[in-house]
Structure 1
Amino acid sequence: MGHIYLVRHGQASFGSANYDQLSPLGYEQTRLLGQWFANCRQGFGRVVTGGMQRHRQSADSCLAELPRALLLETEWQTDAGFAEFDHHQVLLRLCPEFADPAEFKLMMARQEQPLRAFEQLFRDAMARWMGGAHDHDYDESWPAFRARCVAAFERLCAQTQADGVQNCIVFTSGGTISALVQHVLGLDDQQVVELSMGMVNGAVSKVLHRPGQTSLAYLNNYAHLEWLGEAGSVTYR
């Protein structure tokens, strides 16, 4: 049986000009995950990143904490099938006025609870994207995104089975992980939205696979961040 560890990237730079960049806390979150793996003597025969900068930065930060003996393959793979969907476009299709960053900041400044207001706005944007009535508005529809993620996952399962690799780690994003969990567990789309909103930065989910069968061992594990014991170490955006 093979094991695939799906890691959500550390906290990115929400609200900045370049979201695709880990924050200082994001580096710390993934470094602690690496220490947790090292303490567990958990090694990996294959490392895959989803092709985004925050994925590679998370991989570098995490795996730098592992002894060389626990990384059995030195060449890391990149598979854009594990890339995240375009959050920016999904939000703009609901609220075109946010193409001007000043409008977004003004809206947020008016809210008594800005984070909660943003989360509701994003749920509405996700509902529009996933509803199917506006697929032509998006460069990548929800069914296309989900199919891309599942294809990348199945491709990786087939490769690792053929090569005899038991443990593989993938550095990716919350939307991708949620789509894959939906595939494994048969969840409906609304459950995927809620799952995605609850994904913790730097958390890890573990999927077991053998030919013709997959199962979820654990989901959204962030024990390494609780181990740190500091306020603010657990983030979602």
Structure 2
Amino acid sequence: MGAIYLIRHGQASFGEADYDRLSGLGVEQGAVVGAELLRRGVRFTEARSGSLARQRKTAETVLDWLGTETPAKEDPRWNEYDHVDVVGHHGGGVPQSAMDSRSYQTVLDKALTDWVGAGEDSPCAETWPAFLGRVRGALDELVSVLRKGENAVVFTSGGVIGTLAGVLLGTPEAGLLKLNRVTVNAGITKLVTGRGGVTLLSFNEHPHFEGGAARLLTYR
């Protein structure tokens, strides 16, 4: 039986002109999750990352801790949904800079609900069914290249992780709208693969942000 570790990227730069850049705290979070994976002694035969800067920088930081010289293979199917486009069409186009993160999250939650409800009729460049199809495709491809007992690590985002967890539990919509809300930056979700298919073994692990590292725990 093999395993796939889904790592949410470190904290991005909310409210700044370049949201996609990791914050200083986000870089620290990447180092902590790297140290956690090193402590576990997990060996990875495959590494993937979305093409977003915050995902790639997290991958670089973690793999450096693990002593892995080969970079993660970029695959844009692991990218997050475009929150700006979703809010633009389903949330009144409110910019992040206009409010604090909690208020913006309220707007985003409603916009995501409307985006999912609109289905193929959404005016967004990527509809919910298209997003769901691409992230499922990314997971299926990765599973297909893993041999018995091999492990993979993926650096992606909360919406992708929540959706895939929902898929494995039979409710992808709830995964996006509910599980996505509680994913922590640099949290770990573990899937196992075997003859019976793919199973969600753990979701959103973050004990590496307890105790002395509690100051690093963030959701946005």
* TM, length-normalised to structure 2: 0.92
Gapped runs of 5+ residues in structure 2? none
**Deviation at 1:62?**
1.2
Give 1:204's aligned residue. Answer: 188
> Is it true that 1:79 corresponds to 2:67 in the alignment?
no
2:103 aligned partner, one-letter code: A
* 1:97-108 to 2 correspondences below 5 Å: 97-98=93-94, 101=95, 105-106=97-98, 108=99
1:37, 1:43 within 8 Å by CA — same for their partners in 2?
no
RMSD value, Cα? 2.0
> Is it true that 1:92 corresponds to 2:88 in the alignment?
yes
Give 2:136's aligned residue. Answer: 150
Tell me the alpha carbon deviations over residues 141-160 of structure 1, each in whole angstroms, 9 at most, x when there is no partner. Answer: 10110110001100110011
2:44, 2:151 within 8 Å by CA — same for their partners in 1?
yes
Tell me the alpha carbon deviations over residues 193-227 of structure 1, each in whole angstroms, 9 at most, x when there is no partner. Answer: 11111110000100001245111111101111114
Structure showing greater radius of gyration is 1
Give 2:157's aligned residue. Answer: 173
Tell me the alpha carbon deviations over residues 135-178 of structure 1, each in whole angstroms, 9 at most, x when there is no partner. Answer: 341111101101100011001100113xx561100000011111
Change beyond 3 A, Cα 1:173–1:133: closer
Tell me the alpha carbon deviations over residues 88-135 of structure 1, each in whole angstroms, 9 at most, x when there is no partner. Answer: 11111134453xx5xx645x2xxxxx4432222111100110002673
Instruction: Return structure 1 stretches of 4+ with deviation > 4 angstroms.
Output: none
Local SS of the residue matching 2:10: coil
* 1:17-96 to 2 correspondences below 5 Å: 17-66=17-66, 68=67, 71=68, 74=70, 76-96=72-92
2:162, 2:175 within 8 Å by CA — same for their partners in 1?
no
Tell me the alpha carbon deviations over residues 26-54 of structure 1, each in whole angstroms, 9 at most, x when there is no partner. Answer: 01001001111112212211111111111
Give 2:217's aligned residue. Answer: 234
1:182, 1:192 within 8 Å by CA — same for their partners in 2?
yes
Paired-residue identity, %:
34
* TM, length-normalised to structure 1: 0.86
